Amino acid sequence: MDRDRIVTRLQCLSLGGLLFAGILFVSQSARAASVTLFTVDLMALRSDGVALLVVARSSDDSLSEFVGERQLDHRVLRVLRGQPPATPMRFRIWRDTDLPFQVGDTLLWIREVSLDPDPDPDEKEDATRDQHLFDLTDLKRTPLGSIALTRDFRVIHDPAMLLEVVSKRLKMAEAGNPLGDRRSYSATDFARTRGAIMRMMPPYSEAQTATDGGSENSLCYPADADLLPGLLRETRDKDPWTRASAAEALAQYPGGKAEKRLKELLDDEARVQILTYRGKGEVDTVLVPVVKKAAQKALRQMGKSPAISTGVPWRD
């Protein structure tokens, strides 16, 4: 299938609040609308419901030439977090790409916590928050909008590994150390993108290849304690962009070595050329101290609950 159509469909799913954990933003310099995706373990941390389900019956209805609605009757095999979903479930699908579930398939269901302070009582529950269904019997039957990504920009193809990754992360959260240290965030905190790092996907990574549709995508993943030494090393890289990206990520590690290093980076005056668009095809070139700006931003964030990087160090 045409990759441009895939990205367009992912965008529609995201905007509909169904299945796909995407945040869309438009960049004037991008090839197409870019998508920010979450790793599967971050999906779990952002959730208020995770369960294993067994398909009892599945039927699809047509809503348009491309879009359909799937009704899923299921029984609950095991609850990993929160409350299981009511049966039947209803959600949107792409008629010519999403393969039908089979009776007896085991599904991993993840529902993200709702941030809507005043939800519409007439709105269907599955339309107000992102839900993900991974078919553990055959991952090829997983709907297009649910992709099991890892922080090293890979795609999980093994159902047992997928379940292990999610189960391990939920156990860490239950023990009060979801990131491997004393930083303890709730599902709502993670849903507000605290304790998370965002990076552009490497151009030829498995994650980028699996999600590419003419767009340059980003990946958001947990800011684990074991990533800190590598980030500190990156702040000494020769490339200013690498240093700036690492500096922004250090905002997720308040205090200690990260804060000390950020204060040192305030003296980093390396400047890079940035193109700014004034409209009507007019372009200006400015020199920006991206490392210093990123360090300033990260230190400001350390004074409050850390929030996700915008991915653009000179903004804010």
**Tens-place pLDDT, residues 44-72:** 999 999 999 999 998 888 777 778 888 89
CB 301 within 8 A of CB 253: no
- pLDDT band of residue 173 (cuts 50, 70, 90) is very high
Q: How much is the CA Rg of the chain, to the nearest whole Å?
A: 21
Q: Tell me the per-residue pLDDT of 213-244, one tens digit each, with 9 for 90 and over.
A: 667 899 999 999 999 999 999 999 999 999 99
- Please give the average per-residue pLDDT across 168-186, as a whole number: 95
Angle in degrees, 0-180, between the axes of helices 290-302 and 240-249, rounded to the nearest 10: 0
Phi and psi at 67, nearest 5°, equal -100, 140
What is the rounded CA–CA span in Å between residue 146 and residue 117? 26
More confident: 31 or 141:
141
- pLDDT band of residue 43 (cuts 50, 70, 90) is very high
Question: Is 308's pLDDT higher than 50?
Answer: no
- pLDDT band of residue 12 (cuts 50, 70, 90) is very low
List the domain boundaries for the chain. Answer: 1-223, 225-316
Q: What is the bridge-based pairing of β-strands 67-82 and 89-94?
A: antiparallel
Q: What is the bridge-based pairing of β-strands 89-94 and 106-112?
A: unpaired
- pLDDT band of residue 90 (cuts 50, 70, 90) is confident
pTM for this prediction: 0.79
* Distances 300 to 223, 295, 297, 316 between C-alpha atoms, Å: 18, 9, 5, 11
Question: Is 165's pLDDT higher than 90?
Answer: yes
What is the rounded CA–CA span in Å between residue 85 and residue 91? 12
CB 192 within 8 A of CB 307: yes
Amino acid at 205: S
What is the rounded CA–CA span in Å between residue 282 and residue 277? 6
